[in-house]
Amino acid sequence: MQAEVAIIGGGPSGLLLSQLLNRAGIETVILERASRNHVLGRIRAGVLEAGTVDMLREAGVSGRLDREGILHEGCYLTDNDLMVRIDFRALTGKHVTVYGQTEVTADLYMALDELGTTVLHGVEDVTLSDLEQPRSVVEFTYEGARKRIDCLFVAGCDGFHGVSRNAIPGDRRREFERTYPFGWLGVLSPVPPCEEELIYANSERGFALASMRNQNLSRYYIQVPMSDRPEQWSDDEFWTELRRRLPSETAARMQTGPSIEKSVAPLRSFVSEPLRWGNLFLVGDAAHIVPPTGAKGLNLAVADVHYLYQALIDSIRSNDRTGIDNYSERALTRIWKAMRFSWQMTMMLHRFEDEDDFASEMRRATLGHLAASETARRDLAENYVGLPFWPTGKDVPWTRPFPRLSRPWRESRAVPCS
Ligand code: RFL
Ligand code: PHB
């Protein structure tokens, strides 16, 4: 097989990249390990930044999102009965959109089918080679036979457990990681949301999040020990624990129902640098993971696609390699800011098992500061609604060589592949 761009992984980042490239007349093939039903059944993100919605519009897949997405102009951070509203609209002029990742993925698959894009499901043993040659090779097993794609570029969109990241030699890659000693037990239930806006709840029993998908479908999470399994928690036990962590008035009016889905997600911060090796580009969770507390994972994946897709078009159509040469640094600059925000939100809102009274007072003081300071709320809102894709200061033009960075390894490990 031949393709201009081979895409490993049919999650949101791979699908969106393919859709944008196909619309520009660039031929892609998507290789996905799981079945389509499996990918469509995964319950994950729910909050889209405005920049993400713009990208989905640009890809021509926003029809249903524009009709069914719910605009949220604020959210609550709470500490027992203290509720602090972060007014996104007043503080930043922006909003976020509540629309499930499942729906984004379904919309993308429908659009790709219409364009006749090749998406192979159930592929195994993907290997990447000749990444530093003019043309690269992707080999894989499909329906029992070994197959091969010759391509110009490979997009590694295969998530945290994919193979693409490890195709970059270990001595040219650097990983940064924080794991957190708890997970999120999530429940999806066909009941109206308990509040019109999301609630990020801090309490002495641990964190809880009240979120939603639509007026009749709620998504709730509680912080649990990492060792907990979803089957250990009956629905009743879940609702009882959630009630204890939410502000009492909200808890009193919360409707409960059966769980449609129940799962435990680990929390991790992770970055692998660089995002490029020769003709390979890492995108989304393949290169970075954030704890879900800031609602940034899917949005970061879409931001990577934003930086990459035009760069690939420029390289393939006009032999202009500026964009692909700058992709890694451009994307990482924004990724690290989202890492910081997600880590900070996680530290502010979760109870750590071995924490002392000082640590819990620090968490409460952070929330108290948010309650009292508009500046603090604006900072949180600016990050939550999504930082701009491009810096706005006129003294940071991206067309110049990237400024020297303070960490010397970046220069010594710069990828020699332009
Ligand atoms: P994905 O979605 O993991 O897709 C990768 C795809 O690659 C396939 N794959 C392979 N295919 C071929 N060969 C291989 N060797 C392969 N290995 C893997 C996989 O089957 C899969 O289909 O990565 P992508 O596309 O980069 O998208 C990232 C997002 O899915 C992720 O960041 C978000 O879901 C994170 N996230 C949230 N993000 C937000 O922006 N807002 C939120 O509100 C939000 N909430 C969440 C979240 C993630 C959660 N969990 C479960 C981790 C809430 C939760 C609970
Ligand atoms: C969700 O609705 O699944 C969701 C919302 C906000 C988050 C994380 C998850 O920060």
DSSP letter string over 260-308? SEEEEEEEEEEEEE-SEETTEEE-GGGTEE--GGGS-HHHHHHHHHHHH
Residue 398 has pLDDT above 60, yes or no: no
Residue 49 CA to residue 335 CA, distance in Å, equals: 14
Give the residue whose CA is nearest to atom 4 of ligand 2. Answer: 46
Beta bridge partners of 84: 77
Ligand 1 nearest-atom number relative to CA 164? 15
The Cβ-side half-sphere exposure at 245, using a 13 Å CA radius, reads: 27
307: left (phi over 0), alpha (psi -120 to 50) or beta: alpha
372, amino acid identity = A
Ligand 1 nearest-atom number relative to CA 163? 15
Mean pLDDT of the residues in the chain: 93
Residue 66 CA to residue 97 CA, distance in Å, equals: 9
CA 254 to chain CA centroid, Å, is 28
Q: Classify residue 147 by burial, with Cβ atoms within 10 Å: 0-12, 13-18, 19+.
A: middle
Q: Is the dihedral of CA 188, 17, 70, 87 positive or negative?
A: positive
Residue 119 has pLDDT above 50, yes or no: yes
307 catalytic residue (yes or no): no
Which pLDDT score is estimated for 415? 44
Cβ-based neighbour number of residue 141 at 10 Å:
14
Q: CA triplet 269, 272, 275: central angle to 5 degrees?
A: 130
Radius of gyration of the chain (CA): 22
Structure tokens at 170: 């270990």
94 catalytic residue (yes or no): no
Does 46 contact ligand 1 (Cβ within 6 A)?
Answer: yes
Which pLDDT score is estimated for 394? 41
Answer yes or no: are the C-beta atoms of 122 and 142 closer than 8 Å.
yes
95 catalytic residue (yes or no): no
Ligand 1 nearest-atom number relative to CA 184? 55
Give the residue whose CA is nearest to atom 37 of ligand 1. Answer: 45
Give residue 285 CA to ligand 1 midpoint distance, Å: 6
Q: Classify residue 414 by burial, with Cβ atoms within 10 Å: 0-12, 13-18, 19+.
A: middle
Which ligand lies nearest the alpha carbon of 342? Answer: 2
Residues near 397 by beta carbon (within 8 Å), at least 6 away in sequence: none
Does 46 contact ligand 2 (Cβ within 6 A)?
Answer: yes
Residue of 221, 288, 291, 296 with catalytic role: 296
Cβ-based neighbour number of residue 100 at 10 Å:
24
Does 9 contact ligand 1 (Cβ within 6 A)?
Answer: yes
Which pLDDT score is estimated for 391? 66
Does 159 contact ligand 1 (Cβ within 6 A)?
Answer: yes
Give residue 295 CA to ligand 2 midpoint distance, Å: 6
Answer yes or no: are the C-beta atoms of 15 and 112 closer than 8 Å.
yes
337 catalytic residue (yes or no): no
Residue 331 CA to residue 275 CA, distance in Å, equals: 8
> What three-state secondary structure class fits 143?
coil
**What's the DSSP call for residue 172?**
G
Give residue 98 CA to ligand 2 midpoint distance, Å: 9
Residue 279 CA to residue 310 CA, distance in Å, equals: 15
CA-nearest of 122, 147, 111, 157 to 12 is: 157
What are the backbone angles phi and psi of residue 67, rounded to the nearest 5°? -85, -40
Residue of 12, 72, 180, 288 with catalytic role: 72
Residue 284 CA to residue 157 CA, distance in Å, equals: 6
Which pLDDT score is estimated for 195? 96
What pLDDT digit, counting tens, does each position of 147-188 carry?
999 999 999 999 999 999 999 999 999 999 999 999 999 999
Which ligand lies nearest the alpha carbon of 102? Answer: 1
Which ligand lies nearest the alpha carbon of 346? Answer: 2
pLDDT tier for residue 405 given thresholds of 50, 70 and 90: low
Give residue 159 CA to ligand 1 midpoint distance, Å: 6
- pTM of the full predicted structure? 0.93
Q: Average pLDDT of 3-22?
A: 98
Structure tokens at 102: 């499942």
Structure tokens at 333: 């600059």
Does 33 contact ligand 1 (Cβ within 6 A)?
Answer: yes
User: Maximum distance among all alpha carbons in the chain?
Assistant: 64
Residue of 200, 307, 309, 327 with catalytic role: 200
Give the residue whose CA is nearest to atom 40 of ligand 1. Answer: 298
Give the residue whose CA is nearest to atom 22 of ligand 1. Answer: 11
Matching residue, tokens 């890809």: 59
Q: Average pLDDT of 60-82?
A: 96
What pLDDT digit, counting tens, does each position of 128-142 carry?
999 999 999 999 999
Q: Classify residue 95 by burial, with Cβ atoms within 10 Å: 0-12, 13-18, 19+.
A: middle
β 199-202/47-48 pair status: unpaired
Which pLDDT score is estimated for 216? 95
Which ligand lies nearest the alpha carbon of 77? Answer: 2
Ligand 1 nearest-atom number relative to CA 286? 26
369 catalytic residue (yes or no): no
Does 28 contact ligand 2 (Cβ within 6 A)?
Answer: no
Beta bridge partners of 120: 31
Does 47 contact ligand 2 (Cβ within 6 A)?
Answer: yes
Q: Average pLDDT of 353-359?
A: 90
Residue 414 CA to residue 146 CA, distance in Å, equals: 34
